[in-house]
Structure 1
Amino acid sequence: MANPGKTFVVEHLDPELEQWSSLEYLTIASESYASGAQFLLSSVPTSLKLPSNLQGAKGLNVETRGIEEIYADKKDRVCLLDPAAPKDLSPEDGDTFDIFLFGGILGDDPPRDRTSELRKKGYQGRRLGPVQMTTDTAVRVTRTVVQDRVPVDRIPYIDNPDLKINKNESTQMPFRYVKGEDGQPIMPKGMMELIIKDSEKSLDDLL
């Protein structure tokens, strides 16, 4: 039986919000909304102005407070998605936890271990397998496991895909993605264009 009504929390922790993050957050919000889940962006600095694509986005809730304050009385229902956790997330964790916490570190290459700050606060941790994921992929996988009850190792993945920039060049993404029905990695709308634009910019820097 599906387990609706979960809450997915990303601790933002940054004074800025990059364009690629806003695309990921928009994707998480719309997928959460479509599946009956909540998406909460916590620890958002009061000085941070949300980009226009996130203002009024369905399924997105923004909080300036941190996770400890918001869920002070529900700590045992919070699961920290932690690459260093001793065990992988399982469908049964959907019975144990209501809130799934992402430390805003997924998608960094190399990974900055912001999760350790949350780990020290005593949240129970689960891992999503051995390979680094983007934040929207990590939420998508978590939702598939705990709401749709699909084991983490049964989800189809694409690791380190090569994205074509133009007919001569491609760039390798150092992450694991969920494989879509079209056989391509599932990415936020607009992300490919952003990656291509960024790589063209960095190529110009080299010239």
Structure 2
Amino acid sequence: MANPNPTSGKTFVVEHLDPELEAWSSLEYYTIASECHATGAKFLLSSVPASLKLPANLQHAAGLMVETRGMEEIYADQKDKVCLLDPAASEDLCPDDGGLFDIFLFGGILGDDPPRDRTSELRKKGYQGRRLGPLQMTTDTAVRVTRMVVQDKIAVDKVPYIDHPELKISKNESTQMPFRYVQGKDGQPIMPEGMVDLIKKDSEKGLGDLL
């Protein structure tokens, strides 16, 4: 396993709380790894079952570290440097938090509709918490926003967002996404490459089954 110790950049950790890894998650994880690598940050996927075979796009993804160990073991001596992104936290993440924390933890907490409080498992461990505003985000969006706040020093309420965008599925059908996204330079919501095609492919199952 790779050494997860943070260097000069921040470390963003997703504690993988599911026994499997769905196609949409692999697209999100690949995007997180790519964006972290491009900005000098690290992306660690922790608590990955040893029996879980990573899909091809993640096996050699630049910027991705994979660990079977959980957060408590990996960062046992750095607990005060870990920030848990928690929708139930009492205060929002701010640029100054980049000076307080080196590790930003996401516990499979985002991307569920309706949201499930899976963060509670990590909240009980006593990590300091911050939230990213009132609306649900996909996991890659949450990491993107966190990175923009703590590395680029953009206030969380100054990030350009698109809320609940409508995706055209076919000529006569569209689907409204129940999440908040970052707005890209083209004015469109930033999503992992291939995500829209996956949503279209699985649209007959209903969005609830996909997510």
TM-score range, shorter chain: over 0.9
Are the counterparts in 2 of residues 15 and 47 from structure 1 also a CA contact under 8 Å?
Answer: no
Among 55, 65, 85, the residue aligned to 1:61: 65
Are the counterparts in 2 of residues 106 and 133 from structure 1 also a CA contact under 8 Å?
Answer: yes
Among 47, 54, 62, the residue aligned to 2:51: 47
2:185 pairs with 1:181:
yes
Identity %: 81
Q: Which runs of 5+ in 1 are unaligned?
A: none
Instruction: Give the aligned partner of residue 106 of structure 1.
Output: 110
**Counterpart amino acid of residue 32 in structure 1:** C
Are the counterparts in 2 of residues 133 and 176 from structure 1 also a CA contact under 8 Å?
Answer: yes
TM-score of the aligned structures, taking structure 1 as reference length? 0.95
Residue-by-residue CA offset, 1:100-141 (whole Å, 9 max, x unaligned) = 000112101111111011111100000000000000000000
Work out the CA distance in 2 between the residues paired with 1:118 and 1:12. 12
Are the counterparts in 2 of residues 156 and 179 from structure 1 also a CA contact under 8 Å?
Answer: yes
Among 124, 127, 134, the residue aligned to 1:130: 134
**Counterpart amino acid of residue 27 in structure 2:** L
SS across alignment from 2:58: coil
Which aligned segments of 4 or more residues in structure 1 are displaced greater than 6 angstroms?
A: none
SS across alignment from 1:165: strand
Residue-by-residue CA offset, 1:169-192 (whole Å, 9 max, x unaligned) = 100110000000111000000000
**Counterpart amino acid of residue 42 in structure 1:** S
Among 145, 155, 160, the residue aligned to 1:156: 160
Residue-by-residue CA offset, 1:71-108 (whole Å, 9 max, x unaligned) = 00000000000000000000000000000000112101
Report the more deviating stretch, 27-36 or 108-117. 108-117
Q: Which runs of 5+ in 2 are unaligned?
A: 1-7
**Counterpart amino acid of residue 28 in structure 2:** E
Instruction: Give the aligned partner of residue 195 of structure 1.
Output: 199
Report the more deviating stretch, 132-141 or 101-110. 101-110
Among 86, 90, 93, the residue aligned to 1:86: 90
**Counterpart amino acid of residue 19 in structure 1:** A
Q: How many residues align?
A: 200
CA RMSD of aligned residues (A): 1.1
